[in-house]
Structure 1
């Protein structure tokens, strides 16, 4: 079944068996977390030409087979609402393992991406709280990393819900000017991976403090 979010316009598919015929289920948009109500079509209903066309509801044909539902692409279907998730885009196990250990200790539900295509598929189905990505992940030129470019171009409402950590050999840890230029929340030099817990806690603390002030300002402006 093809679904389109009426808030952000995102398109995705879910398996027909997840929505029993004649029943309505609620789910969250994987991109913006907008609540959607989905009703399975009745197979005994009149043929499409006797009903309003799908286009009237904003649905468009999805021709990319890779967008079909696959439980392995969406491993967090059934975690609790408050559960936090992390995506790791790093191929070097010596760098990745200390990071996974820290995130696991912090009770994040972790998903590994094998390449950029795999990362994008996982991101299609889930809005991760943290994404850790090596600037060379799937890219010969770290200044033209397609996954970092994708994250940079996300709608601001979606992007500010994700804490992006860029791993780098070129830049020093928590180089704020470079973080701003690269549109990431934090830079961690790969040589500092063994101190990832301390660095991440500091970065998250600054991030939450900033957005707490930001959200307060937005609320105050909206009441004027």
Structure 2
């Protein structure tokens, strides 16, 4: 980021202490808390503070992450970290993408969502690509409105039927490139080491912690 004089502005550092995880998804909160563990950060979930879930009106993953982080920081008076992530399927033109959570409906039924994805790919015919990637945008916001944002991606292929009970969301139908098992079959520590969320988190740690 540069100011009007072309000089680089310093990225704001995150100090040890309480940090709101601006998500009501228990799986995401667990993963982010595990990634934050070594850095003296005390994660607090938005749900535990009874913070509302904002409407995700952004047109990019980063825009939605920033929206969620800024609201949580404003309402809590604490720094807040938000994640916006999704599965992008080549044969579906990038869907479900930004709408990955919404495909699971109000009850967050990701079994149904995975079936919708697979049915959509099958409807494209026998030669439809099974290529897909996960994107994760992380936004870190302070109560004064300052925001830092980072984005990670991991490529892979769809598998069917879903495999494994680990992870959450679409993990059981996604097999990362150069691996023989799905995210749903993968040990959580192994996933944390190489996932789209881990890649975004590496950037965040390098920049602000």
**TM-score where L is the length of structure 2:** 0.30
Q: Which of the pair is proportionally richer in strand?
A: 2
Q: 1 or 2 for the larger relative contact order (CA 8 Å, sep ≥6)?
A: 2
